Structure 1
């Protein structure tokens, strides 16, 4: 018996060892083959968990752009038709809960002819409250046990609560969370997150093994923009353009109108707006500016060109000759280099002669003998040209570069124009170019270039890099990074800054900028009128740039009106009126209080400069002519 037991045990041991050896052999030689067989017998489930793109908010937390959850209604026909008792109840539930979306004939066709389909999109981008009745019905298995095969795919849709507000600055997104322009484009990677995933498999015993990797939501941009200031600016721009659209000339109130509001002490942009603008929730809609007949007649390329013009941010992408707003920079250069001093005088006889032709002053008969202050107050081209001779080409070119003309500001927005080829250098500037550049003709800049440089003129000489994002936070509100003010360089001395501000105060209180004066506030600034190429066609860019208050300025405003819709475009009153009406509401909002005696200055003026109920648009424009004619070149070759 013992022998038999030993033999049996030995035999079983040999068999076990052989089985183990065989399994090891199979695993070594054929493991992939058998893994595929096992996997083919299991049912897998995998779905993407979408991330939520980060918000864009203003400086006080007002949401300017956000992503809201929406749901696609998905039909898994293979499940609905797996049992005939599921088909009718499921279709009935869909028709009951989505009567305006679903089509019974189409659903029955899916049930009959697409039985193996696992993914049929029945509806797209529905809000949760629209799908909630179906979810409740489907979850009520006691009363509705046979609703099968319908599920909801979550995604996010970009929405802009204020529609047109700061449209060119914010930008919009295309499908796939791709920023198309503005902050949406520049900070695309920051705003985007990382998709999560839910995956697993259903084995033969209906045990579901599931793993979830959560999505990582995008970060939030906290901007320097103040939505209240932005809305005031856009309201005044629209008011101006709407009024001048009603003028006898065809077209809008202007080709373009741009406004910058900046904090001169840190480079922050408080508002950046332009006309025309567009609805961020419907950015391809051209109907506010074109008739349907015009749109239908456009080719694809023409349609795209019209959209690109609509989407552009005029304040950073468009270049133009600045006109007389250049004059404070020229005088500051002279003061800072010592080539121009406060006690100098200049005899304006109506113009300067170059190669047999006269580049005229705005006053043909001449202003006579003028101090530096009076030259700026009267916007005298002749005096500025004479100053440029003293300054010299070397100094002028050096300071133009220091002010940033011809250089990108590197603002945190896409599409900033490159003006490096639109300014003169030491190698190509001639005396006539120096003369015309001194009063802002014959070179190009952008609003953001000139606005940023002007801030340095009035803040003591410090050039800050302009920016529109203050900090970046994660989805939970934790600060990831802070964009601190960046000092790029010193442009002029503090004493020069004080002197040029003193001159610009006289411009607004006594000179060509009187219509920009806001009653009760000390302020300075400069008007500008630049004749566009080709000269002699009557097309102008008019502007006003100013600051408030006179001592320790807290705000800089720059208004540009490109080709006002009037017969005589050359009056800076258009820009001054917009600036004054903006400041009238913005300054009290910012708790910047009147610091001078109120005497009713400009109190009767509105966006047109006069009582619009009594005077036409043309008369209103003419009301500023006496104060502004000092800015209008009377020689058609003045800028050539």
Structure 2
């Protein structure tokens, strides 16, 4: 004891002192106006200490009744001769207080916190949720987990040789620390408009799902993203087929984009100088490439038309002609230069990559189908990112949701930055495309997206999933405002509509029009759009 006093003193303390963890408190997630999207509520962790229990049957009865756990399970835990046995975490404050009120020895009720999402389903597939252990499971909760995760605390008590707490000894606590706050680019008001319209389109068209994204094509800030149906963030395990229900199709699912992709073919053709606005084409309702007859959506044909009319009519033969003029080698090189083979780098987990032919496998037929958006697949967010670069003057943006990191005192600890690449296309190409796409909405296939008083540009699409014989369609519309300096882009994608109509111009364009009609005045008010 004299020679090794310090050693045995520490060893005795270690045997006498019991410690219990208190989970760290996660930081909040807020929208661009610092309105709460994800926060915490007080909760309790319930445990039992075998050697301190004086009325075993009462403990079993109370815990079984208040926690809705069968008595056999509670008994097995109570009978375990351990220093402390966990019964249930993240119990509501009301239930924890009720258990405390019984005053039963051997039950430990430690204060903790549980993740709470005040908006329930809003943003569910973007925000994701944190598990019972306080760690992010999907969505932003995963991407920014290290920033949001707080520092755990400890509770220390002193016990005698039997494991019973020594009377008169005051618990020693190390309080848990809260994580930093994530300020996002999201806007609750814009999200509500998008989710409302997604829900209506889902019901009216008997669709499998409806995806809507609203972002700023200048800088990549995402204002809203929904992949309806959503799920309740406060009860994520109540939905069937969890993995599918939590999956964000805007980021994780690829599809054939169809005629919206004609924007990109037009951009490549203008960049490669293989077409002028006055070039004339003839559409008899089809075009023959090698031994394949490829039809236009208008089987009777558009007849003689200029390039401007061809994009307004969404004429397949016109764009097949452009693809063949460009040639597979140049087309593939520009496909790469535009960033279509790279992931966008969005700050959400599970982003899928573009599925594209290898260069040596792109023959004349493959080139023809690629030119009007078939025979390859990409994600909705990839499509929007690439089109953004073609209408914003040639800058490849990184779509993102994180904006700033704030400390617990509200101070700005970090302004998040995301990569931009310039020179994707020329200013001239960008100007021309914007005017062409304005004409699509004003006079062409996108006229159902027209909103009185606002100059909107955009493109419709109707594509099919494989196998084509299943007749499963995807109707979509991609639009932007204002035409001269786009600051708001919206994509509406309706998956497998079964209400009779399935054309993008018929069912997706009107949804986009309603979204623009509702959010443009608000966007102007908050300074997003001029």
Q: 2:327 aligns with which of 392, 404, 407?
A: 392
What SS class does the counterpart of residue 509 from structure 1 fall into? helix
Q: Contact 2:390/2:430 (CA < 8 Å) preserved in 1?
A: yes
- Aligned match of 2:218 in 259, 265, 270? 265
Q: Deviations over 1:166-201 (max 9, x none)?
A: 111111222312322111122222221221224364
Quote the offset at 1:215 in angstroms.
Answer: 2.7
CA distance in 2, matches of 1:343, 1:214: 72
Say yes or no: does 1:174 pair with 2:131.
yes
**Partners in 1 of 2:157 and 2:382 — Cα distance?**
56
Match of 2:154 among 181, 188, 197: 197
SS where residue 274 of structure 1 aligns?
strand
Equivalent residue for 1:240? 201
Which range is displaced more, 567-576 or 161-170?
567-576
Displacement of 1:155: 2.1
Deviations 1:552-601 (A, max 9, x none): 112000111111113453453111121112222111222269xxxxxxxx
What do residues 503-559 of structure 1 show as CA deviations (whole Å, max 9, x unaligned)? Answer: 111100000000111122111100011122222332211110011112211200011
Q: 1:215 aligns with which of 167, 176, 189?
A: 176
SS of aligned partner of 1:577 = helix
Offset of 1:472 from its aligned partner? Answer: 1.5
1:153 aligns with 2:110: yes
Conserved in 1, the CA contact under 8 Å of 2:202 and 2:209?
Answer: no
Within a 5 Å distance, the mapping from 1:82-161 to structure 2 comes to 101=66, 119=84, 125-129=90-94, 131-132=96-97, 150-161=107-118
Quote how far apart the aligned CAs of 1:135 are: 6.4
The answer to whether the Cα contact below 8 Å between 1:319 and 1:446 also exists between their aligned partners in 2 is yes
Matched residue, 1:65: 38
2:247 to 312, 316, 321: 312
Instruction: State which of 163, 188, 193 in structure 2 corresponds to 1:227.
Output: 188
Q: In the TM superposition, what is the alpha-carbon distance from 1:456 to its structure 2 partner?
A: 1.5
Counterpart-to-counterpart distance in 2, 1:543 and 1:36: 69
Shift of 1:429: 1.5
Structure 2 CA distance for partners of 1:180 and 1:137, relative to 1, 3 Å: closer
1:537 to 2:470 alignment: yes
SS in 1 for 2:393: coil
User: How many angstroms does 1:492 deviate by?
Assistant: 1.0
User: Contact between 1:164 and 1:278, CA under 8 Å: does it hold in 2?
Assistant: yes
Question: Structure 1 575/128 Cα, relative in aligned 2: closer, same or farther at 3 Å?
Answer: same
Runs of at least 5 residues in structure 1 that lack an aligned partner in the other structure: 1-22, 82-86, 139-146, 245-252, 288-305, 594-640
User: 2:66 aligns to what SS in structure 1?
Assistant: coil
Q: Please say if residues 323 and 528 of structure 1, whose CA atoms lie closer than 8 Å, have aligned partners that are also in contact.
A: yes
Q: Indicate if the aligned counterparts of 1:538 and 1:569 stay in contact, CA closer than 8 A.
A: no
Which position in structure 1 is the counterpart of 2:274?
339
Counterpart CA distance in 2 for 1:535 and 1:38 is 75
Answering whether residue 459 of structure 2 is matched by residue 486 of structure 1, we say: no
Q: Distance in 1 between matches of 2:11 and 2:249?
A: 64
The match for 1:436 among 356, 364, 369 is: 369
* Structure 1 vs Structure 2 CA RMSD: 3.3
Q: Is residue 2:290 matched to residue 1:355?
A: yes
How far is the alpha carbon of 1:328 from its aligned partner?
1.5
Relative to structure 1, is the Cα distance of residues 428 and 38 closer, same or farther in structure 2, using a 3 angstrom cutoff? closer
Per the alignment, residue 229 of structure 2 pairs with 276
After TM superposition, give the deviation of residue 394 of structure 1 in Å.
2.6
1:369 counterpart = 2:304: yes
- How high is the TM-score relative to the length of structure 2? 0.88
- Aligned to 1:527, the other structure's residue is in SS state strand
State the match for 1:412 in structure 2. Answer: 347
Inter-CA distance 513–129: structure 2 relative to 1 (3 Å threshold): same
Among 576, 584, 594, the alignment partner of 2:517 is 584
Q: Which residue of 1 aligns with 2:428?
A: 495
Distance 1:219 1:384 in 2: 50
Closer/same/farther in 2, CA of residues 133 and 529 from structure 1, 3 Å limit: closer
Residue 413 of structure 1, CA deviation: 0.5
The number of equivalent residue pairs is 517
TM-aligned CA distance change 1:32 to 1:254, over 3 Å: same
1:569 to 502, 507, 510: 502
Q: 1:123 to 1:542 in 2, by over 3 A?
A: closer
Q: Contact 1:318–1:417 (CA<8 Å) still a contact in 2?
A: yes
Displacement of 1:485: 4.7
Change (3 A) 1:443 1:411: same
Deviation at 1:233, TM superposition (A): 0.7
Alpha-carbon separation, structure 1, partners of 2:136 and 2:11: 45
Q: How many angstroms does 1:217 deviate by?
A: 2.1
Cα shift readout 1:251-274 (whole Å, capped 9, x = no counterpart): xx2122111101111101111111
Match of 1:517 in 2: 450
| Offset, 1:208 | 4.6
Unaligned residue ranges in structure 2 (runs of 5+): none
Deviation at 1:75, TM superposition (A): 5.1
2:461–2:503 CA contact under 8 A, matched in 1: no
- CA deviation vs aligned residue, 1:114-137 (integer Å, no higher than 9, x gap): 698764667754443555578689
How far the C-alpha of 1:368 sits from its partner, in A, is 2.2
- Does 2:388 match 1:455? yes
Q: 2:499 is paired with a residue of what secondary structure?
A: coil
| SS of the residue 2:41 aligns to | strand
Distance 1:37 1:488 in 2: 60
Residue 52, structure 1, aligned to residue 25, structure 2: yes
Distance change (3 Å), C-alpha of 1:34 and 1:531: closer
